[in-house]
Amino acid sequence: MNKLVEEKAGESTQTPNPLRDGVFIFRNKSGDKVKLMYWQRNGLMVSYKRLKQGRFKWPKASADSLSLPRQDLELLLDGIDLNKLKRVCRGRLRKNRC
């Protein structure tokens, strides 16, 4: 983890950098703990979360990395299975237009 932090911190700030614009999440093998790495004003912040019970249900992805909207990230960190989540349309008058 330390090597990854140092490597990412040394990258150029001139070009768009997902490190400064997003969050990297690392899950342990058993799936009950995650570490989050993100840029906070003047340095990298590393946070740790462990579920009291259950496991983090990782969304299905075809690649090694995945991009999630903020709302999905919050649900994921609450232990909600995004693969089984059913989206509900609200405030729409016409059917089938979400």
Q: Per-domain residue ranges for the chain?
A: 2-55
**Neighbour count for residue 19 (Cβ, 10 Å):** 17
Q: What is the pTM of this model?
A: 0.61
Q: Which residue has the higher pLDDT, 88 or 74?
A: 74
Please write the tens of the pLDDT for every residue from 22-69: 888 888 999 999 999 888 878 888 999 998 888 988 887 777 777 888
Q: Give kind and range of the element (H or E) at residue 49.
A: strand 43-50
